[in-house]
Amino acid sequence: MISYEGIDEAVLIHALYQHAYKPGLGSIMTPAAMLDVMGSIKGLSVEDVRAEFCTRGPVIGIDYYRGRPLKVSIDIETKEFDSRLFDRDAVAGVAQRVVDYLRAQLRATP
């Protein structure tokens, strides 16, 4: 489990989306993934993520988001998420690096 204490859930999901595995044109793709690869889904903002996910219950479970495998279950109460499946599909350790980067951004902001 990775603690994301102090990081907004929408910011976390947005950053994980940006660093998630991106399926190529040769793989089996969902329609959303195909649109993403073809560029039909233009820039995802933190506010887009907030509108879609952060109005849900105490746990935000995301399997695929806009064609990318996030595969995380974010516990809003404990401020933790399990990164095993995300890291399996992306690169081992990338979820922790995303959280570390977001924390560094918060420290750098006056």
* DSSP secondary structure of 13-45: HHHHHHHS----TTS---HHHHHHHHT-S----
Secondary structure class of 56 (helix, strand, coil): coil
Name, in order, each residue with C-beta under 8 angstroms of 6's C-beta and a sequence gap of 6 or more. 79, 103, 106
pLDDT of residue 56: 67
pLDDT band at 5 (very low <50, low <70, confident <90, very high): very high
Q: How does pLDDT run across 27-57, given as a tens digit for each residue? A: 555 555 555 555 545 678 899 888 888 666 7
* Model confidence pLDDT, tens digit, residues 67-97: 888 999 999 999 999 999 999 998 899 999 9
Joined tokens for residue 72: 């995380």
First to last CA, the chain: 29
Rounded-to-integer distance, Cα 110 and Cα 11, Å = 18
**DSSP states of 68-97 as a string?**
EEEEEEEETTTTEE--HHHHHHS-TTHHHH
pTM of the model: 0.81
Give the closest residue to 102 by CA, choosing from 2, 11, 1, 37: 11
pLDDT for position 40: 44
